[in-house]
Structure formats: structure tokens, C-alpha cells
Amino acid sequence: MATWLNKGKASIAYRQPGGLLIATLLGWAILLSCTATNSNFGEGASLAPDAVLLSSGATVTTVRPTGIDDILYNPGMGFADFHFEIGSPLPLSQHPRSTVAYVRWYWADLEPVEGQYDFGRVDRVIQQARAMGETLAFRIMMVPKTPRWLLEKGVAAVKLGDGVFPDFNNSILLDYHEKLVRAFGSRYAGSADIDHVDIGSVGCWGEWNTACCQAADALCKRHYPTEANQIAITDWYFKYFPSTPLVVPVGGQLKYAVGRGAGWRGDCFGDYGWSGPGWNHMKHVYEPAARDPVVGNAWKSAPVQFEACGAMQDWYDRGFDIDLILRKGLEWHMSVLNAGYAPVPAAWRPRVNEFLKKLGYRMVLVEMTHPTEARPGQRLLLESRWKNAGVAPLYHPWPLVYRLRSRSDQVVAHWMSTANLMRWLPGTPHEVQDTVAVPTKVPTAIYSLDVAILSKDRRSAHVDLAIEGKRPDRWYPVSKLTIRK
């Protein structure tokens, strides 16, 4: 539902970031003469030779959609699946629906034979994730499963049970390591199916550490990449995944990668005493990172991700403070939580649900003002006020789009907003002003004025808004516009 506020003639109040401007229709038309008309994709949008914004007797309408308090299962935010391959989900009564399929693969599995990359393995998971309404995030790991063919070229390695910790500074390994990142970047960079990619492939499980080495730790440290090589490996991801959000594990070149535009992640979220009372990840690793002026602001342009230490049931059994843990996740502007593929304790589910209502982005259309009537070929000023009620922005260039839709569901006009939603940080209002052109051949009728946030390829509505009225196609009818001859 939407609240219809007023219909006023002659003078119109509309907002700009610098304050409130009261403009007469004449002044408004003068202003618009200096404003570029938005592109109309899908239909012709040519203007009549004498096109003006409004006639002298025009009225405007302001509507305020009704907000909702539901959990929004939007792409790139919320809980993540965690599998080496996508499997059957737990019942929703035990685990919230996931929107991100987070998968890790070993290099030995992705390139079992030199130069033969198993892209089919990744593509199958993408298809499975797409069928489940998820996008894929992935990490490539080298330890403990480094390709045998690579080791046989003379790359030294420390034996770790059934696996190895290779010499990351070996020139042969570095050469093939870069080829690997290049190959997967060439295939998946910028794909609408990819939510983000970890800057992984270094150290145990791609976490940029030697934690799996145990007694062989000293030997592993000799094989750990030098700082120069750590930076080189980090740079490969930026070079070969230029249009994909990147996330660096907290053990990697954190400040360097964040300074280049990456987000960050921790792989032991919730640890307030996992290994004993003297030290924990939350207080001694993640808290200092979040307080760093560089790392702590990474969320404004790249995602912050976490993986649970164990599972929430483990936290429950150990008596961890769930309210403190979830509060820290929001303070650190988390977008995605990999909580392990285990049930959420029933006693904690209400608090986890409230947490999910704030995690990531939450776009609310607060108000929209537009002319009540128009003629074919006219320009219209669509003004709207939005807020992001989450703790992070979205990290993909998904466009805000308007459309005119007839009573028979025929779409007669599409208009794409100039707004950059990736800049919509929480905590401040976002004012949008878009000048659009009514196509010259639109029939006389009363149309629904709909809004939506589309996918990158603009093929479909992609994001649920925190307002009432969502249609099955994920568009939101927010007002009416009458087209007269």
C-alpha cells in the first residue's frame, strides 16, 4: 500500500541535497532545460518539438509507500551456503534461506592436468546456485592439494599428511599460479552469476596462514610467500577480476588489498574463547582490523564477509554471548555470514532473524513525487527519497528503473535512473531526481508507475525493497500516471 499525500497546482516543493527548493512551474521548466533526459531502453522516447515539462495547470502527486519489517532475501547479503559442491539445503525451520553459494575448490581439482581447467565443475555449481536463487562466491585453494604435475616440475613442498605445503616463492609455481588466476578471471570476471571472489590460494585452506602445518610450521614458513610475492599474488586478482568484488582474508595483505578496493573477511567469526580464555579472533584480530582507518572503512565500497568458528550450536553449547556476536557483525558492516551448514539453535532463531533484517543493504522508498498527468512526448521530473536501513551498500552496478504499465500489464515505457545505488550508504537520506521522456506513441490511459532494481544485465528485477506491494515479477507499483493527448 502507499499513502497518497497531496495534489498541488502551480508551486511544487521538491528536495535537493542542499535543502528544500520551492519552484514555480516556470522555474522548474527552466531548470529542466539544463537537465539531460534519461535514456529509455526498449521503447522510443523521442520528444515532441514543443516538449515542456508541464502545462500551466498541471498537478503533482506525492506518495509514500508502506514499509515492511520482513527479512529480505536479496543477492549478495544474508546467509551463505558452504559446500565444496552445492547440496540439499536444511529445512528453513532450521537454517535461514541462503542467497550466496560459497564454494572452495582445490587447485588440484580445477587443473588436474596441466593447462586443462575444469570450468565445467564451476559451471555446474553456478547452474545449481542459479536454480536456488543464489549467486556464487568462490575461493581457490592450494594447500593441502597442490597439483601433482606441478610438484613434479621441481617445486619443493612440505609433506602434510596426505597433502603438501608448496614453496610459494618458487618461480615455476608463481608462473602457473598467475596462469590459474588469469584463466578463471578470463571466464568469470564480471559475470552476473558471481557475487564475489576471495583473494585466496595462499596458505592453509587459502586463509593466508600456516595453521595446518602444526609440527612442520617452521618448514612451512620458509615456503610462505615473501611480502613482494604476497603483493604480486594480490595484484593478479585485481588485474584478472577487474569488475568483480574481491574479498581478502584477514591474514593476507589486508591493508594493501583494501587500499586497492577489496573488502575483507574473517574465517573464525564468533570466536570468544574457542581455544581458551586467553585469546580469541573477535577481540584480538577482527576488532583491531575494524578499528583501522583503512580496513574499517572498506565496507563503503567492498563487502565484509565472515565465516563462523564452528557453528552457532557450538557457540550455544559453549555459552557464548550471541547478542554480542551479532552486534559486532553489524558494527563491522557485514554483508554475508557463512554460518556453517548446521542448524541455528531454536532459542536463538528470533535474534538471528532480527540480525538478518539489518545485515547488508535494505532499500526503502520513502517518498515519490511526480506529475499527475502528462502528454506523449513530454518530459517528466520523477523525484524520490530513499533510505538504506541496512548496514552496508550493495556492491554491484544494479540499476534503479521506472516503468509505465497498463491495466493489461503491457509495459509502454522504461526509464533508467541516473542514481548510483552503490553509493547509497546507510544512515543518510538519498534524494533522486530523474528527468524522463514519455514516448510519443503512448496511448491515452491511466498507467501504473512501477519501480524496481534490476540485475546487471537489466533482464529482470533483482532486489526486494522494504516496502509493501511486490508483484510476482519483483516490481513495485507505487503510483499512477495519466497520459492524455
**What pLDDT, on the 0 to 100 scale, is given for residue 85?**
56
**What pLDDT, on the 0 to 100 scale, is given for residue 36?**
32
Residues (pLDDT < 50) of the chain are 4-57
Same domain, 327 and 234: yes
Examine the fold and report which residue of 327, 356, 385 is the final residue of a domain before the chain moves on. Answer: 356
Tens of pLDDT, residues 201-221: 999 999 999 999 999 999 999
Distances (CA, A) of 27 to 23, 65, 186: 6, 28, 51
Residue 365 lies in a domain: no
Same domain, 203 and 338: yes
**What pLDDT, on the 0 to 100 scale, is given for residue 340?**
83
**What pLDDT, on the 0 to 100 scale, is given for residue 188?**
98
Same domain, 231 and 149: yes
DSSP 353: H
3-state SS assignment for residue 278 = coil
- Look at the chain and count its residues: 485
Tens of pLDDT, residues 253-276: 999 999 999 999 999 999 999 988
**Which CATH number goes with the domain that contains 403?**
2.60.40.10
C-alpha–C-alpha distance, residues 340 and 480, integer Å: 46
**What pLDDT, on the 0 to 100 scale, is given for residue 342?**
86
**What pLDDT, on the 0 to 100 scale, is given for residue 253?**
98
Residue 328 lies in a domain: yes
**What pLDDT, on the 0 to 100 scale, is given for residue 24?**
32
**What pLDDT, on the 0 to 100 scale, is given for residue 276?**
86
What is the grid cell recorded at 48?
Answer: 515532441
Residue 362 lies in a domain: no
Among 346, 334, 340, CA closest to 307: 340
Residue 363 lies in a domain: no
Same domain, 133 and 183: yes
Residue 408 lies in a domain: yes
**Which CATH number goes with the domain that contains 348?**
3.20.20.80
Is-cis flag, bond preceding 343, omega within 30?
Answer: no
**What pLDDT, on the 0 to 100 scale, is given for residue 2?**
55
Examine the fold and report which residue of 356, 388, 408 is the final residue of a domain before the chain moves on. Answer: 356
**What pLDDT, on the 0 to 100 scale, is given for residue 397?**
96
Distances (CA, A) of 21 to 8, 17, 428: 15, 10, 19
**What pLDDT, on the 0 to 100 scale, is given for residue 87?**
56
What is the grid cell recorded at 442?
Answer: 503512448
Examine the fold and report which residue of 356, 383, 401 is the final residue of a domain before the chain moves on. Answer: 356
C-alpha–C-alpha distance, residues 333 and 298, integer Å: 9
Residue 173 lies in a domain: yes
Residue 166 lies in a domain: yes
Same domain, 82 and 127: yes
Residue 361 lies in a domain: no
Same domain, 16 and 132: no
Domains: count for the chain = 2
Range of the domain at 445: 2-69+371-483
Residue 260 near residue 219, CB atoms below 8 Å? no
3-state SS assignment for residue 182 = helix
**What pLDDT, on the 0 to 100 scale, is given for residue 305?**
97
Same domain, 53 and 140: no
Same domain, 61 and 99: no
Same domain, 326 and 391: no
Same domain, 54 and 98: no
Same domain, 194 and 286: yes
Same domain, 58 and 108: no
**What pLDDT, on the 0 to 100 scale, is given for residue 264?**
98
The model's pTM is: 0.89
Residue 244 near residue 188, CB atoms below 8 Å? yes
CB atoms inside a 10 Å sphere around CB 191: 15
